[in-house]
């Protein structure tokens, strides 16, 4: 059936758990971001902290050991775990793959067993050992049927080995235009119409794809929705990392909604609609945060400025029932 953008937003709002004294810590979202290396520490912070300020109860970062102290310094609200290793940091005399299997993965698995949604990729880097570790982590997440959002360097890995995510309907991929074209080429998909090309990539992988751009196109199976709420034309690096954290929280809430954590009418939202609604809601909030940030600082806007507006944007877009999206067209869901 066709839904307007505002009707979609109303569905997103239904995924938000009430603030109830009957809930205990962790029920409203336990998120882990796997990423961050010596060279890139901001991206995992933006993703994990966005999940927290959007409303997740607990937010973790699992990063390369050299990045942990830096990421910890950004915020005391995050739990930072220095479990991962790049090739250069494996202790001398140790076999790298054996080190990962015996020293790294048991710690990572122990944490992931308690997590609702995982974000993979922000600031990960492309070290060979790091990427092979992530490949093993994806296999474990599939085994546990844990929802996962893949971005940045995790998408680079998928381009090399699409089979590691193929057919996993709990996966959400968030490529920008360049990353999407690289992914489409790796899959042998080519179409003049970007909307149709997005549909073909999502179908070939069997996952949810959110192709970011001037208009975000979100596809899962036969469902295709678009997000075109006005944002900002400023393209400072790091803004997409905040988006992944926002998506992760809504995915966690979608699971809680499906499992009946709180009382709500049955049958309004199906499980296969939750990933696209999570992407749509996160897109709207992130875009609105970008607009607020740009209106405040203009061309000087950085990812930190957008990030600082997530709470305000969430309150306006999600909590304010009078908030309305200028409707360009209806969308199939």
**According to the annotation, is 170 in a ligand binding site?**
no
Any binding-site annotation on 36?
A: no
Half-sphere exposure of 53 (CA within 13 A, CB side): 23
Q: Is 177 annotated as a binding residue?
A: yes
For tokens 């607020």, the residue is 292
Any known ligand binding at 31?
no
Residue 324 counted as an annotated binding residue: no
The answer to whether 123 is a known ligand-binding residue is: yes
240 labelled as ligand-binding? yes
Determine if residue 245 is labeled as part of a ligand binding site. no
Annotated binding-site residue? 230: no
180-210 burial, b at 16+ Cβ within 10 Å, e below that, comes to bbbbbebbebeeeebeebbbbbbebbebbbb
Residue 198: φ, ψ to 5°:
-65, -40
Cα(156)–Cα(163) distance, integer angstroms: 13
Which residue's entry shows tokens 């494996």?
Answer: 90
Is 228 annotated in some ligand binding site?
no
Annotated binding-site residue? 93: no
CB 34 within 8 A of CB 137: yes
Q: Say if residue 222 carries a ligand binding annotation.
A: no
Whether 214 has a binding-site annotation, put simply, is: yes
User: Is 238 annotated among the ligand-binding residues?
Assistant: yes
**Is 231 labelled as part of a ligand binding site?**
yes
179 is in an annotated binding site: yes
Within 13 Å, how many C-alpha atoms sit on residue 151's CB side? 29
Handedness of CA 11, 227, 287, 77 (dihedral sign): positive
Closest alpha carbon to 46 in 245, 333, 313, 208: 245
Do the beta carbons of residue 224 and residue 275 sit within 8 Å? no
Q: Which residues are annotated as a binding site?
A: 123, 176-182, 212-216, 231-241
Q: Which residues are annotated as a binding site for (6S)-NADPHX?
A: 123, 176-182, 241
Q: Which residues are annotated as a binding site for ATP?
A: 212-216, 231-240
């Amino acid at each position: 059936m066709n839904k307007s953008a505002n009707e979609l937003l109303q569905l997103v709002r239904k995924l938000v758990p009430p603030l109830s004294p009957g809930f205990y810590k962790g029920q409203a979202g336990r998120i882990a971001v796997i990423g961050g290396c010596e060279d890139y520490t901001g991206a995992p912070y933006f993703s994990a902290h966005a999940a927290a300020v959007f409303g997740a109860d607990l937010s973790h970062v699992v990063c390369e050991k050299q990045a942990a102290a830096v990421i910890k310094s950004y915020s005391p609200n995050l739990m930072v775990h220095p479990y991962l290793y790049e090739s250069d940091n494996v202790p001398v005399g140790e076999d790298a793959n054996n080190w990962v299997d015996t020293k790294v993965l048991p710690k990572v698995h122990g944490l992931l067993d308690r997590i609702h949604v995982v974000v993979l990729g922000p600031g990960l880097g492309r070290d060979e050992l790091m990427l092979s570790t992530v490949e093993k982590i994806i296999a474990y997440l599939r085994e546990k049927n844990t929802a996962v959002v893949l971005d940045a360097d995790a998408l680079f890995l998928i381009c090399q080995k699409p089979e590691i995510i193929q057919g996993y309907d709990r996966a959400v991929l968030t490529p920008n235009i360049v990353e999407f074209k690289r992914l489409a080429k790796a899959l042998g998909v080519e179409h003049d119409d970007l909307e149709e090309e997005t549909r073909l990539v999502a179908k070939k992988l069997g996952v949810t794809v959110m192709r970011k751009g001037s208009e975000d196109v979100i596809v899962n199976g036969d469902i295709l929705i678009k997000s075109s709420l006005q944002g900002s034309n400023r393209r400072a690096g790091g803004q997409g990392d905040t988006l992944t954290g926002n998506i992760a929280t809504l995915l966690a809430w979608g699971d809680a909604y499906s499992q009946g954590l709180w009382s709500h009418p049955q049958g309004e939202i199906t499980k296969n609609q939750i990933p696209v609604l999570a992407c749509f809601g996160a897109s709207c909030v992130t875009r609105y945060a970008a607009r607020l940030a740009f209106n405040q600082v203009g061309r000087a806007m950085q990812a930190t400025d957008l990030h600082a507006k997530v709470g305000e944007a969430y309150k306006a877009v999600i909590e304010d029932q009078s908030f309305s999206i200028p409707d360009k067209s209806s969308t199939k869901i």
